[in-house]
């Protein structure tokens, strides 16, 4: 649908206001006049040929109110009750090339219809055209967009400041936690060092005691070995004396045995010689007889006697050699030094 004068897209004409819908979009505590002002502003803004509501001063004041108080009224709309009559004052800017009178009449009719659904009694609508918006005029919508962007920027700034404060608090908490952790680790390290020092001292004392004990054991062992060596030396001396005495006794017994054997050998030789001489004398008497068999026996006896004498001499020599060897062995044992004995 286009406008017959401009050929531009025509705004949809407002229909009777749905009060239930308006109630849902506004707070419960909103009074009737404020609700009426909002409804009038929405209705007038929708009339064909109305570019926007309020003049430059009204819109500037509304932006200042929104920035300072954080709330806004409908710019260019003023609603009041006077003696039971509802008076609505509207400031509008007409869009070129619409006829100003036609826009005023259409706006008055639409606003009156909307107000009649909210309030009872007579309604007076006064409309003031503050300006006509042409093709080269700045669009207030741009100003509103700039204001909205500024509001968003300020909101983002406030949120960034709050976030920075939160991050600062968190960083301070982390720093405090790290500091506490560092102090705790430092204390634990100091305790560990002290514990190690104590253990090192205990180990050093234990090692010293162990060294003293080993020294004492070594000294005792040396003393025991020295005492045992003395005992061994004393036993060696005693044994050496006993061996000397045994050797002397053996030598004496060997000498006695040699003397006894020699005496017995001499006695046997002498007895044998005596017996032999007797036999010889007896045989000589018989030998004198010629062709006597006794003579032959005498010769045999003489041969036998010489053989026996030779055997006895050999046995005597062997016995003497044994006795000499026994005597030499006794002398060697007597003169040999014994281990451990003082020279």
pLDDT in tens, 253-311: 877 876 787 788 788 878 877 887 887 777 667 656 655 666 677 677 778 878 888 88
Which of these, 34, 128, 32, lies nearest to 74 by C-alpha position?
A: 34
Look at residue 132 and tell me whether its pLDDT is greater than 60.
yes
Which of these, 116, 66, 61, 60, lies nearest to 88 by C-alpha position?
A: 116
Q: In angstroms, rounded to a whole number, what is the distance separating the alpha carbons of residues 22 and 74?
A: 15
pLDDT interval class at 130 (50, 70, 90): very high
Please report, for residues 55, 57, 60, 151, 205, the alpha-carbon distance to residue 64 in angstroms, rounded to integers and kept in the order given: 14, 11, 6, 11, 87
Supply the DSSP symbol for 7: -
Look at residue 322 and tell me whether its pLDDT is greater than 70.
yes
Neighbours of 56 (CB within 10 A): 13
The three state secondary structure string of 20-79 is HHHHHHCCCCCCHHHHHHHHHHHHHHCCCCEEEECCHHHHHHHHHHHHHHCCCCCCCEEE
Going by their DSSP bridges, the two strands 77-82 and 50-53 should be labelled as unpaired
pLDDT interval class at 68 (50, 70, 90): very low
Could you tell me which residues are beta bridge partners of residue 9? Answer: 2
Q: In angstroms, rounded to a whole number, what is the distance separating the alpha carbons of residues 44 and 51?
A: 10
Q: In angstroms, rounded to a whole number, what is the distance separating the alpha carbons of residues 242 and 292?
A: 68
Interval 175-184: pLDDT, tens: 888 888 888 8
Give me the pLDDT at residue 92, please.
95
Neighbours of 28 (CB within 10 A): 5
Which token pair is 16? 């009777």
Which token pair is 331? 């002398």
Give me the pLDDT at residue 146, please.
59
* pLDDT greater at residue 198 or residue 141: 198
The pTM of the whole model exceeds 0.85: no
Interval 231-258: pLDDT, tens: 888 888 888 788 888 877 877 887 787 6
40 and 77 Cβ atoms separated by less than 8 Å? yes
Could you tell me which residues are beta bridge partners of residue 87? Answer: 80, 124
Instruction: Say what the alpha-carbon torsion angle 282, 285, 287, 289 is, to the nearest 10 degrees.
Output: -140
Look at residue 215 and tell me whether its pLDDT is greater than 70.
yes
Q: In angstroms, rounded to a whole number, what is the distance separating the alpha carbons of residues 314 and 319?
A: 9
Residues above pLDDT 70, as percent of the chain: 73
Q: In angstroms, rounded to a whole number, what is the distance separating the alpha carbons of residues 287 and 281?
A: 10
Interval 4-40: pLDDT, tens: 545 544 544 444 444 444 444 555 566 898 999 999 9
Give me the pLDDT at residue 139, please.
62
Give me the pLDDT at residue 12, please.
43
79 and 114 Cβ atoms separated by less than 8 Å? no
97 and 134 Cβ atoms separated by less than 8 Å? no
Could you tell me which residues are beta bridge partners of residue 198? Answer: none
65 and 71 Cβ atoms separated by less than 8 Å? yes
Look at residue 141 and tell me whether its pLDDT is greater than 80.
no
Length in residues, the chain: 343
Look at residue 157 and tell me whether its pLDDT is greater than 50.
yes
Between 293-335 and 140-287, two packed helices, what is the crossing angle to 10 degrees? 150
For residue 127, report the phi and psi dihedrals to the nearest 5 degrees. Answer: -120, 130
């Amino acid at each position: 649908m286009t406008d017959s004068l401009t050929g531009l897209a025509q705004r949809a004409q407002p229909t009777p206001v749905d009060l239930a819908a308006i109630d849902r979009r506004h707070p419960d505590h909103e009074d009737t006049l404020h609700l009426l002002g909002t409804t009038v502003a929405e209705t007038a803004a929708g009339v064909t040929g109305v570019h926007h509501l309020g003049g430059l001063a009204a819109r500037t004041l509304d932006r200042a109110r929104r920035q300072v108080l954080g709330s806004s009224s409908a710019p260019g709309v003023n609603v009041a009750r006077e003696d039971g009559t509802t008076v609505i004052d509207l400031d509008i800017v007409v869009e070129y090339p619409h006829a100003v009178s036609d826009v005023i009449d259409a706006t008055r009719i639409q606003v009156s219809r909307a107000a009649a659904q909210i309030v009872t009694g007579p309604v007076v609508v006064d409309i003031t055209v503050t300006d006509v918006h042409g093709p080269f005029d700045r669009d207030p919508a741009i100003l509103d967009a700039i204001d909205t962007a500024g509001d968003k920027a300020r909101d983002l700034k406030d949120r960034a400041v709050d976030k920075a404060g939160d991050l600062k608090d968190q960083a301070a908490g982390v720093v405090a936690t790290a500091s506490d952790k560092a102090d705790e680790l430092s204390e634990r390290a100091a305790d560990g060092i002290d514990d190690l020092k104590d253990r090192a001292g205990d180990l050093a004392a234990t090692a010293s005691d162990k060294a003293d004990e080993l020294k004492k054991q070594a000294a005792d062992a040396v003393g025991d070995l020295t005492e045992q060596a003395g005992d061994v030396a004393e036993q060696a001396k005693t044994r050496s004396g006993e061996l000397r005495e045994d050797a002397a006794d053996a030598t004496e017994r060997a000498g006695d045995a040699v003397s006894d054997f020699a005496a017995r050998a001499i006695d046997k030789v002498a007895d044998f010689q005596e017996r032999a001489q007797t036999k010889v004398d007896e045989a000589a008497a018989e030998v004198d007889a010629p062709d006597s068999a006794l003579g032959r026996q005498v010769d045999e006896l003489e041969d036998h006697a010489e053989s026996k004498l030779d055997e006895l001499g050999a046995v005597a020599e062997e016995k003497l050699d044994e006795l000499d060897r026994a005597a030499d062995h006794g002398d060697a044992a007597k003169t040999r030094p014994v281990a451990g004995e003082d020279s």
